[in-house]
Amino acid sequence: MAEKIVAELVANVWKVLVADGDTVSEGDTLVILESMKMEIPVHAEASGTVSALSVTEGSTLEEGDLICEIS
Amino acid sequence: MFETVLVANRGEIARRILRTARSLGIRGVAVHSDADATLPFVTEADTAVLLGGASPAESYRNIDRILAAAKDTGAQAVHPGYGFLSENAEFARAVQDAGLIWIGPDPEVIDLMGDKINARNRMAQAGVPVGAGTPDPVHEVTAAVDAVAHIGYPVMIKAAAGGGGMGMAVARDEGELRKQFEAIRGFAERTFGDPSILLERFFSNARHVEVQILGLADGRVVALGERDCSVQRRNQKVAEESPSPGVDEALRRRMLDAAVRAGEAVGYRGAGTVECLVSGGDFVFLEMNTRLQVEHPVTEAVFGIDLVEEQFRIAAGEPVTFDPETLTPQGHALELRINAEDSKRFLPGPGTIAQWREPVGDGIRVDAGYTQDNKVTPFYDSLMAKLIVHAPSREEALARAREAVRDFAIQGPKSNLEFFTELLDDAEFTSGTYDTGLIARMRRPATR
């Protein structure tokens, strides 16, 4: 079952470090968000393949917005 | 003294500088973004000038607009606060070229100290202890292994272009160095577009202690005690105290002397801070901050002076209010940074302030950038207020801080008040034996 990675806060997307289809390991940094001058790396909590990547650099996320799925 | 000063900053520090200006009979000019139009630093200023949109590029980092505001309002001097353009030598030069007084050190000193390698070399020449490290960026793992033969383990591997605590790892032996070097280099390349790596000797169980210096108008440099800034999350400070419970009198003397030498070596003028790492009764120079620090109030509390007033006086070519020969610290002070972030993982959380109640009482000071009904926006840092307590002893200061945190009420945005309740009861913190690893030991740090 795919693990959904969602934004936990209102933030801008500063860096996207993965692409759909990439293989990632638990702990890898997927994207780096930016809010209130803090850079917040979002890590994979499981190993798998990135899918449904739904963010681009510079976009704004609301709390709960989907970042990607890992299956 | 000046008649009109422009404050090129926002939030609590702008409000704090404007307060001192008012007390000296100086007219204060605030500049602001449209997102900050209703904040206290704008509404309380004698004059307020809208710079532009919320992004710092359109407002607090926009040199042309700030200089135009200074000209339009007849300001004679510019105070940059901290952050934004405060350590921007180009801005300092532009202020001076416009015929205005820059309230800070010479632009050449800002440039020198902004370059980590040049700063370290200059400090070493001045007899300030510096830690071992690579003098230039390292690109290959073999060069890293060679470099560590001189530096010694453990070593910190740092992305040269990194910041905010990202792109750093510690290696304790060659195996770890080889593995981590490649990992950090890959991360640096993907994240910052620059794979350059720096290596520095890593001090475990170190404390982050800094010395406040003032370069006076007559050329003397004085050290105003030290601040312990070891309570950090994401390599960013959240609580500071003075004096440091981890520094004895002999070490303090050596640190203050070194900080004065550091200031004298570069002809320092105005307020500055010499940051050091303290480990095992010894210290090394980290960097010099060529501006007023966020945590300056703990120094003000123990010395009973107003550092912003002294900055104004020095910039105006006047003597300071105190005699450097007789000034001595009194009691103990703590500062807690009240941020719009949660208390568990320190994730930022802006919002509109539905309730804001500040603690009051003897030895309690609150420097706030916000008040009831203000909106804390995601565009700037998360600092809402600084709670400063001062008492005759550390134990009494801790007790006073516990009460003040209990009395501080914030509803709307998230706040880290609960974290401070935890910190002030933490055995390691209250014993004064903590180091920069304290919060990581208190809880797993926020990682996503």
CATH number for the domain spanning A15: value is 2.40.50.100
| Mean pLDDT (chain A, rounded) | 92
Task: Report which residue type is found at B114.
Answer: G
Helices (H) and strands (E) counted in chain B, each on its own, are 15, 20
Give B166's contacts in chain A (Cβ within 8 Å). Answer: 32, 39, 41
First to last CA, chain A: 6
Residues of B in contact with A39 (CB under 8 A): 163-164, 166
Which stretches of chain B score pLDDT less than 70? 163-165, 444-448
Instruction: State ipTM.
Output: 0.76
Question: CB of A22 within 8 Å of any CB in chain B?
Answer: no
Which chain B residues are within 8 Å of A36, Cβ to Cβ? 340-341, 348, 350, 378-382
Tens of pLDDT, residue by residue over B104-151, are 999 999 999 988 778 888 999 999 999 888 888 899 999 999 999 999
Q: Which of A10, A12, A17 lies nearest to residue B350, judging by beta carbons?
A: A10
* Confidence at residue B253, expressed as pLDDT on a 0 to 100 scale: 97
Chains A, B: CB contacts under 8 A, how many? 53
Return the pLDDT at B294: 97
At B447 the pLDDT is 43
Query: Residues B291, B313, B337, B365: which is the catalytic one?
Result: B291
Q: Of B150, B179, B201, which closes a domain?
A: B201
Indicate the residue type of B171. A
- Rounded CA gap, B213 and B262, in Å? 9
The last residue of a domain, from among B174, B201, B228 = B201
Shortest distance, CA B448 to any CA of chain A (angstroms): 4
Asked if residue B180 and residue B145 are part of one domain, the reply reads yes
Which tops the pLDDT comparison, B315 or A58?
B315
Domain boundary among B201, B220, B250: B201
Residues B253 and B138 in one domain: no
**Closest-CA residue to B43 (of B26, B76, B18, B72):** B18
In a domain, B125, yes or no: no
Are B83 and B162 within one domain?
no
Residue B57 belongs to a domain:
yes
Task: Say whether A39 and B166 touch across the interface (CB within 8 A).
Answer: yes
Inter-chain touch B448–A40, beta carbons under 8 Å: yes
The answer to whether A40 faces chain B, any CB pair under 8 Å, is yes
Please report whether residue B172 resides in a domain.
Answer: yes
**Does A60 or B435 have the greater pLDDT score?**
B435
pLDDT attached to residue A9: 82
Q: Under DSSP, is residue B422 helix (H, G, I), strand (E, B) or coil?
A: helix
Q: For residue B139, tell me if it sits in a domain.
A: yes
Note whether B263 and B410 are same-domain residues: yes
pLDDT of residue B165: 67
pLDDT of residue B445: 46
Range of the domain at B136: 130-201
In a domain, B115, yes or no: no
Task: Report strand pairing: B364-368 vs B383-391.
Answer: antiparallel
> What is the residue range of A44's domain?
3-70
pLDDT for position B164? 61
Within a domain: B75: yes
Rounded distance between C-alpha atoms, residue B1 and residue A64, angstroms: 53
pTM above 0.95, yes or no: no
Scanning every residue of chain B, which has its alpha carbon at the shortest distance from the alpha carbon of A18?
B190
Give yes or no: residues B160 and B229 share one domain. Answer: no
Say whether B10 is catalytic: no
Task: Note whether B350 contacts A36, CB cutoff 8 Å.
Answer: yes
